[in-house]
Amino acid sequence: MRYLRYSIFIIIFLLSFGSTRISRKKQVPAYYELELKGLNFRIQNDLSDFKQSKYIKKQVERFILRWELNGVSIAIIKDEKLIYAQGFGDADKVGNKVQPGSLFRVASVSKLITAVAIMKLVEDGRLNLSDKVFGPGAVIDNQYFRDVRDSKLYNITVRNLLAHSGGWSQRYGDPAFHSLSIADKVGDTPPATMETYSKYIASRRLSFPPGTQVSYSNMGYMFLGEVISAVSGKSYEDFVREEVLIPNGILDMYIGHSERTYKYPNEVDYFEQRGSLQIFDFAGQGLKVPKSDGGNPIELLGAAGGWICSSVELARLLVLIDGHPEVKDVLKDSSILEMTDNTYAKGPLGWRATTDYGTWARTGSMAGSVAMLKRQKNGLNWIFLSNTSSWKGSKFPYEINRFMQGITGRIKEWPHQDLFNYYPIDVLPLAINN
């Protein structure tokens, strides 16, 4: 009887996991194996077969062909239930196919993850959006900010960095993607580190007073990763995983690696558009490499663009911050309102764009990857990931949005299921035995 009661308890827990947060104290129970029982390893393509799936497949294949993509992963949420999740095309160079649990670089979608982590610290009373970031008595108070060229640097707040209004422009290029040049300017030996970037901003003038203008800044978000680390006492990645992701059932999301050699087992390969030029490797070894394989410093981008994840786990995060009532959000309503305020130079925070009509979007693109997620007022939300970059660059999400809106607008009857709560039968004995 004791074992029967224990088994029943575990089965009930597993079936309710999708809509219930894991206890923060225990986090992941001992009998729950992270890699084997997370969403990415439970959901396969065939679970999303339904009456209109052939239509979706045909449309996606056309889109892949038109834009010369290799692999695509799509997740669709309706009323906070994961109703559809499928992969299409090639995951890697040897022809393995994309699955819903395949990991992709999501580039600037990482900024949304960072913003959620910042708001978590704010809600916990450990940080304020008005806190100064750099200099004596500020969040980041180190030797590099004791004497700076432009005293306006001391006025930069956490909110300024979140809203891309810190004072840096991209007039001479994006510093985040020119780490070799930044290291050279400050006299550091590559690869560049956040200390390198600290020296750099301390020795340069701002382009405008903080909070007065908006200029997209990856570098600002890189420093938000340092803010999170300084306040929490953990590395940026550890804080996000241990205090935001894992307690909410998101188990297979990480900061990625710059080189294909070190990719995760279920991570895709990355493909660049035809005619892409090679660049010198970020580590400064003088090697010419693809941007997507050793050219861009993914680990350094971190809080600005370093995360890898699947469409299904990104969908799981989306339902926890979307403001819809069916699933309890991980942030307070006031925090979500703060993040989606689109007042110029004040917000939005983490999101790429928000509207007064309840549409919120976050995009990401870099060499070898493109990502987009969209939250809509009607509760029909979606994720689109690809392991191939487009020659349209940062404008490609407009094509993705048009494509996804066409699909979701055409289909009137979706599957009556919630894949967040799906557990294959062979998972249950494994859980019980542990």
Mean predicted confidence (pLDDT) in 86-101: 97
The pLDDT assigned to 36 comes to: 52
pLDDT in tens, 283-319: 999 999 999 999 999 999 999 999 999 999 999 999 9
Check pLDDT > 80 for residue 31: no
The pLDDT assigned to 424 comes to: 80
Residue 57 · residue 48 · CB < 8 Å? no
Check pLDDT > 50 for residue 25: no
Of residues 74 and 9, the one with the higher pLDDT is 74
Give the pairing type, strands 288-289 and 307-309: unpaired
pLDDT in tens, 13-23: 333 333 333 33
Residue 122 · residue 129 · CB < 8 Å? yes
Fold observed for domain 116-234: Beta-lactamase (3.40.710)
Structure tokens at 319: 């339902």
Give the closest residue to 221 by CA, choosing from 295, 168, 185, 181. 168
The average confidence (pLDDT) of the chain is 91
pLDDT band at 26 (very low <50, low <70, confident <90, very high): very low
Spatial separation of the C-alpha atoms in residues 133 and 151, rounded to whole Å: 13
pLDDT band at 171 (very low <50, low <70, confident <90, very high): confident
pLDDT in tens, 373-425: 999 999 999 999 999 999 998 899 999 999 999 999 999 999 999 999 998 86
pLDDT in tens, 320-376: 999 999 999 999 999 999 999 999 999 999 999 999 999 999 999 999 999 999 999
Check pLDDT > 80 for residue 77: yes
DSSP string, 86-144: EEEEBSSTT-PBP-TT-BEE-GGGHHHHHHHHHHHHHHTTS--TT-B-BSTTSSB--GG
Bridge partners of 384, per DSSP, are 74, 372
Bridge partners of 307, per DSSP, are 255
pLDDT band at 426 (very low <50, low <70, confident <90, very high): low
- Topology match between the domains 43-108+237-294+307-422 and 116-234: yes
> Does the N-terminal peptide bond of residue 191 adopt cis geometry, omega within 30 degrees of 0?
yes
Among 3.40.640.10, 3.40.710.10, 3.90.650.10, 3.90.1300.10, name the CATH number for the domain at 43-108+237-294+307-422: 3.40.710.10
Check pLDDT > 90 for residue 7: no
